[in-house]
Structure 1
Amino acid sequence: MGSNAKQTKYIIVSGGVISGIGKGIIASSTGLLLKTLGLNVTSIKIDPYLNIDAGTLSPLDHGEVFVLDDGGEVDLDLGNYERYLSVKLTRDNNITTGKIYREVIDKERRGDYLGKTVQVVPHITNAIQDWVERVGNVSTSEDGRAPDVCIVELGGTVGDIESAPFIEAMRQFQFRVGHDNFCLIHVSLVPVVGAVGEQKTKPTQASVRDLRGLGLSPDILACRSAIPFEEGIREKLSMFCQVSPKQVFSVHDCESLYHVPILLRQQGIIDVLTERLKLNELKLSPEVRSEGESLWVQWSEFARRRARDLDVVNIAVVGKYTYLTDSYISVVKALEHAGLNVNRKVKISWVEASDLEEFSMHKDPLKYHEAWQHMCAADGILVPGGFGERGVEGKVLASKWAREHNTPYLGICLGMQVAVIDFARNVCGMTNAHSTEFREACEHPVVVFMPEIDRTTMGGTMRLGSRPTKFQDTEFARNSKAKKLYGGVEEVHERHRHRYEVNPEVVKELESKGLKFVGRDAETGERMEILELENHPYFVGAQYHPEYLTRPLNPSPVFLGLLLAASGQLDTYLSGGEIAKDVDTKLKM
């Protein structure tokens, strides 16, 4: 560790049997529980694919692309880490095979290896270890404290060819950092099969056997199952997987993902981690411990509220990837967080944007009518970001419907742009208004390509990362709903991911008819960042992606506004009044 006085402790989370069983949630929940002790926690996600980052991956193939403050386009699990741990990660917190090989090959080209034959072992495995150790010591918390614990999630499953170098690197890493600073959590599936619903332990036994064959022994087994452990299952797993019964945890399906930390805590995972990593030896101030205890109280209350029978608010989400909702996972979380902070349960009606388009274009009239039924029944409408022409006209129609029927509306990125297209066409008389992304030679280009963006490559060439937005010094902007929701500040920092923007040449005409751009970029003042419609209960567009900064206990302001408006509480909230109370608690905003 060189001159570092304090050794970071590492918790590795691996998976077995099948992928997609919740390693990210278990890793995030474990990190949250450590934070409730007052510890400072950071995280790393390892993805064994060859892509440099997630930016060019289809949302239908890999789920949402999550964007970080520094513009890193990363796996959606890093969004879970940021939300659970209240940290701000960087692109270095997401390791891919592509990044590691590029780093090693660049060194080889420079001659750093002095003529040696460059091999997976030791050069690739050393590069992985160096990366983990370097990033694991970088502060990602708001207070700037160095991490006490770094949680490393190994993507994929044990036994994958792609994962082999990372497994070997972690086998070596346990000796590099020492026994007391390395803990392995293995997440495995305990399926329920047969007519009587018997739980089977053989897949987990085989998975642990494979892991041991690769030189790693699990300290904790987190077993995913539809139901809690049946009698004798914990003991059986303990016996055949060579771990103590207290180190075997049942992570069964529960009320919500927010209950997973509660489930793990109730089974004693904090005691196991404290003993295994000697966490009691870490010197923490009483103030830090008190903050951790307070966090647990708030989290428990938040999860309890999620399980309550709250009034339902129906939000129609109009997109083009609606048959894989992981494509919009941050939007879903932002709606959940906002809803629970105003004591409402959000029911999302997924509307495929193309289903809203002209009836004659549809092969299936049933989908057309169902889509419009969802729109008519919605308490609020949300159009998230997206790329490509499919479904754009449907999104324009969704914006038009919300505008004309006084339905609360939130448009994000492309959702803001389609609101401009609708307004230009149907209010300003620009019949052929469109975005040059879809109609390069259109008569009225109201959305245009950003001048400094590189058209030659795809990866990492958008306007990415955290950028400042400044509220305008106009009477409408000073009193806008958006500014009030942000607490009356003059400037906000939000994360971007786009190549096109509102054409500044048409702004004056749009504003003269009532579509006000209350927020513009702080650098030039020529990029439209936040729009708001006059004389409407709530019609807001954001060029940035506010869903990336949502937190369970601190929801995104514009999502909060949508839920408040959809539940009829916005005016009361903005005037300083109290909003819906839970049965035995008073909401603190």
Structure 2
Amino acid sequence: MDSLKKQTKYVVVSGGVISGIGKGVIASSVGFLLKQCGLKVTAVKIDPYLNIDAGTFSPYEHGEVFVLDDGGEVDLDLGNYERFLGITLQKHNNITTGKVYQNVINKERRGDYLGSTVQVVPHLTNEIQEWIERVAQISVDESKKQPEVCIVELGGTVGDIESAPFVEAMRQFQFRVGDHNFCLVHVSLVPQTGTLDGEQKTKPTQASVRDLRGLGLYPDMIICRSTLPLQPGIKEKISMFCHVEPKKILAVHDCSSVYEVPLLLVKQDLPELLYKKFHLNNGVVPTSDESSQSLSIWSAFCRRLKTLRDSVRIAIVGKYTGMRDAYMSVIKALEHASVECSRKLEIIWIEAEYLEKENQKKYPAQYHTSWEKLCSSEGVLVPGGFGDRGILGMVSAIEWARSNKIPFLGICLGLQVAVIEHARNVLGWEDANSTEFDPATSHPVVEYMPEVSRTHKGGTMRLGLRTTHFQRDCLTKKLYGQKETIQERHRHRYEVNPQMVDHFESAGLHFVGRDDSGSRMEILELDDHPFFVAVQYHPEYLTRPLKPHPVFRGFISACNWYLRFL
């Protein structure tokens, strides 16, 4: 029994029927519950696309690119893992087909395969298994201890041609690590026909499990995703046709927030089922949301999220508002801070280009509606992005927030546009711009970073955790608890032109945070304003449900006309 306990346990989460079913949230929730049992947990996301990483994806196609401490540009699900589990992951926690093929080809070029014909089986599948085992041994928290459980989310849908090598690798992996160290959790859709009282259909789940079994993988548990709670008899029917005990068929219906999913699973004895599967001592297994202190706090957070009445209206003026997953971490950071400040978050989405004056005649309805939304907001946030579309609309939004003393928070591109707005409307430099948008401008207040490649896109930006030094006592320094230095994650190619900083400082725009060299601007604040803060880094990546990021907490507090924690 002791030897079994010392071996790493693997929970593989697969998906069937459709993509986007919520595997990432369920994988995060499973890991969260195991962590509440006192186990050290890590996570691996498998993405079956050929890209090396997510860095070059369009936000409209793939949503947010999440950035890790080591500069890894990864799938947004790794953001869920970090937020739910309170861990710090690295780029090797995200496996892609591109990475695996690159490793295999590099080994072949070195002659590691001793003249063998390199094939998907065994070379590719072995590489996948070795990668997972290797990553599962790396500590992901301050304890520096080796994880005891590794959650592996298998991206895509079972049956996809892109996922075939990974499914085969997992088929082999179950024998490699042993049955008592391997648990397959299959997530499947149970659709409902017609109206809300229509019949829930099990056929898609049956077909999905049949495909899975045909590939040599047999689910230990099935998690049924549905709009409403499962109707009577559905579990029994799935059990009969999928050869899984009814008690191991769990239901996750649509919730008001993703944070409720662990509470749904604990009520269905998920931790106990996993402990029995792994032959572990079940003395610390939570059986309800009140059976452990951590779960009790989490449950209280969920109740508070649902019962808040007083709202705070935040306008997000962005370029990708048609794909809100592009701002996933920003949404979460605002949500966490709003709960902390006892406010119900109400996001007002504004497409930046509709605020532009030249679009008043082109899109009159959108123009007036967008300005009405902006004027009704209690705070304005301009998030990151690339390209010149909508920049003039962002400039107008920031000018409105500055002139009317409405709390403003700029992130990455938001800082750069705030500098452009100040140069144009305060310093009087009418053509002031970023060289990203106008290479010929006579006032290049934002310029390309000299060390960044102009010929390659993937992984060439200023990425990952960097140090910022406060230059003076200021509001942002107070938000961080009077720390002299902070570390935050970055993702950008352009920076404020250091040669023009003195002009802004003399006009009341202060760069209160700079990098190690002192020449790269990281944080700006404006004189005589209740809250006008912009940062070059991405604070949203480090927010946690029970520990909101201080910049977002300050922003939401300012929107309520108080900063209660200073």
TM-score tier by shorter-chain length is: over 0.9
Report SS of the residue matched to 2:446.
Answer: strand
CA–CA distance in 2 between the matches of 1:113 and 1:89?
Answer: 31
Return the alpha-carbon distance in structure 1 between the equivalents of residues 97 and 565 of structure 2.
48
Residue 288 (structure 2) aligns with: none
1:543 aligns with 2:536: yes
Q: Which moved more, 1:272-281 or 1:547-556?
A: 272-281
Give the C-alpha shift of residue 255 in structure 1.
2.2
Which range is displaced more, 255-264 or 190-199? 190-199
Q: Which amino acid aligns with 2:222?
A: L
Q: In the TM superposition, what whole-angstrom CA distance separates every residue of 1:457-485 from its partner, at most 9, and x where no partner exists?
A: 0000000000000101xxxx31x111111
Equivalent-residue separation in structure 1 for 2:361 and 2:517 (angstroms): 44
Q: Does 1:534 align with 2:493?
A: no
* Structure 1 portions without partners, runs of 5+: 285-291, 575-589
Partner of 2:309: 310
Do 1:359 and 1:365's aligned partners in 2 also have CA atoms closer than 8 Å? no
Indicate which of 478, 482, 493 corresponds to 2:487. 493
Aligned to 1:585: none
Q: CA deviation at 1:123?
A: 0.2
Shift of 1:362: 4.6
Structure 1 residues 354-383: Cα deviation after superposition (integer angstroms, max 9, x where no partner): 000014565221100111011100000000
Give structure 2 stretches of 5+ with no counterpart: 285-290
What amino acid maps onto 2:565 in structure 1? Y
Written as runs of structure 1 = structure 2, the 5 A alignment for 1:423-572 is 423-472=422-471, 477-478=472-473, 480-521=474-515, 523-570=516-563, 572=564
Q: Quick check: 2:360–2:367 contact (8 Å CA) kept in 1? A: no
Following superposition of structure 1 onto structure 2, how do residues 7-26 of structure 1 map, counting pairs within 5 Å?
A: 7-26=7-26
SS at match of 2:452: coil
Residue aligned with 1:224, SS: strand
Q: 1:569 Cα deviation (Å)? A: 2.1
Q: Which amino acid aligns with 2:538?
A: H
Cα deviation 1:192-214 (Å, max 9, x = unaligned) = 01354110000000000000000
Count of aligned pairs between the two proteins: 558
Distance of 2:207 and 2:561 partners within structure 1: 54
Partner SS for 1:198? coil
Aligned residue number for residue 577 of structure 1: none
Deviations 1:45-103 (A, max 9, x none): 00000000000010100110000000000000000000000111000000000000000
- Is 1:389 the equivalent of 2:388? yes
**Deviation at 1:280?**
1.3
SS in 1 for 2:162: coil
Partner SS state of residue 401, structure 1: helix
Q: Structure 1 residues 331 and 209 mapped into 2: Cα distance closer, same or farther (>3 Å)? A: same
Asked if the contact 1:355–1:362 (Cα under 8 Å) also holds between the matched residues in 2, the reply is: no
Letter of the aligned partner of 1:416 in structure 2? L
Q: Distance in 2 between matches of 1:14 and 1:334?
A: 28
Alignment check: 8 A CA contact 2:495 2:520 kept = yes
* CA–CA distance in structure 1, aligned partners of residues 142 and 66 of structure 2: 20
Q: Is the 8 A contact 1:402 1:408 kept in 2?
A: yes
* TM-superposed deviation, 1:341: 1.1
Q: Which amino acid aligns with 1:490?
A: E
Measured in 2, the distance between the counterparts of 1:155 and 1:569 equals 43
Kindly provide the amino acid, as one letter, of the partner of residue 242 in structure 2: C
Whole-Å separation in 2 of the counterparts to 1:457 and 1:359: 34
1:126-165 aligned within 5 A? 126-165=126-165
- 2:252 maps to 1:257: no
Partner residue in 2 for 1:579: none
2:370 aligned with 1:371: yes
* Residue matched to 1:244: 245
**2:410 corresponds to:** 411
Deviates more, 1:210-219 or 1:142-151: 142-151
1:234-254 Cα distance to aligned partner (Å, 9 max, x none): 111111111111101110012
Hey, what's the Cα distance between the residues in 2 that align with 1:62 and 1:218?
Answer: 28
Give a deviation string over 1:555-584, Cα, whole Å, max 9, x none.
Answer: 1111111100011221x332xxxxxxxxxx
Q: Residue by residue, what CA displacement relative to the aligned partner does 1:292-333 show, whole Å, maximum 9, x if unpaired? A: 933222211111111113310000000010011001000000
TM-score normalised by L of structure 1: 0.93
Q: 2:104·2:124 contact (CA, 8 Å) conserved in 1?
A: yes
8 Å CA contact 1:408–1:538 kept in 2: the answer is: yes
Partners in 2 of 1:29 and 1:429 — Cα distance? Answer: 52
How far, CA to CA, are the matches of 2:141 and 2:201 in structure 1? 41
Query: Partners in 1 of 2:358 and 2:129 — Cα distance?
Result: 57
Contact 2:5–2:279 (8 Å) recurs in 1: no
Contact in 2 for aligned 1:469/1:491 (Cα 8 Å) = yes
Offset, 1:5: 9.5
SS in 1 for 2:6: coil
Give 2:345's aligned amino acid.
V
State the Cα deviation string for residues 3-32 of structure 1 (Å, max 9, x = none).
Answer: 999311000000000000100000001111
Q: Answer whether contact 2:4 2:279 (CA < 8 A) is retained.
A: no
> Is contact 2:41-2:148 (8 Å) kept?
yes
Alignment match, 1:34: 34
Q: Deviation of residue 281 (structure 1)?
A: 7.5
**How far apart, CA to CA, are the structure 2 residues paired with 1:447 and 1:457?**
21
The one-letter amino acid paired with 1:217 is Y
Q: Hey, what's the Cα distance between the residues in 1 that align with 2:565 and 2:25?
A: 33
The question of whether the paired residues in 2 share the 8 Å contact of 1:408 and 1:537 is answered with yes
Cα distance in structure 1, aligned partners of 2:513 and 2:184: 47
Whole-Å separation in 1 of the counterparts to 2:86 and 2:280: 21
- Preserved CA contact (<8 Å) 2:167 2:215: yes
One-letter amino acid of the structure 1 residue matched with residue 315 of structure 2: A
Residue number in structure 2 paired with 1:51: 51
Using the TM superposition, give the Cα deviation of residue 342 of structure 1 relative to its aligned residue in structure 2, in angstroms.
Answer: 1.1
How far apart, in 2, do the equivalents of 1:425 and 1:28 lie? 46
Residue 536 of structure 1 aligns to which amino acid in structure 2? H
Contact 1:63-1:326 within 8 A present in 2 as well: yes
Q: Deviations over 1:474-526 (max 9, x none)?
A: xxx31x111111111011100000000001111111011111111000x2011
- Cα shift readout 1:394-441 (whole Å, capped 9, x = no counterpart): 111111111000000000000011101111111112121100111111
Q: How does 1:156-195 map to 2 (within 5 A)?
A: 156-195=156-195
Q: Taking structure 2 as the reference length, what is the TM-score of the superposition? A: 0.97
Paired residues of 1:410 and 1:562 also in contact (CA < 8 A): yes
**2 CA distance for matches of 1:31 and 1:516?**
43
2-side partners of 1:74 and 1:398: how far apart? Answer: 30
Distance 1:156 1:37 in 2: 29
Letter of the aligned partner of 1:543 in structure 2?
Answer: Q
CA distance in 2, matches of 1:371, 1:142: 45
The residue aligned with 2:205 is 204
Name the structure 1 match of 2:122: 122
* CA displacement 1:264-291 (0-9 Å, x = unmatched): 1111111111111123179x9xxxxxxx
SS of residue matched to 1:441: coil
Which residues in structure 2 correspond to 1:207-218 (within 5 Å)? 207-218=208-219
Asked whether the 8 Å contact 1:538–1:565 carries over to 2, the reply is yes
2:287 maps to what in 1? none
Q: Give aligned-pair identity as a percent.
A: 63
Cα distance in structure 2, aligned partners of 1:452 and 1:184: 45
Matched AA of 2:249: V
Contact 1:511–1:517 (CA under 8 A) maintained in structure 2: yes
The aligned counterpart of 1:288 is none
Q: Distance in 2 between matches of 1:5 and 1:506?
A: 61
Letter in 1 for 2:481: G
Identify the residue that residue 106 of structure 1 maps to in structure 2.
Answer: 106
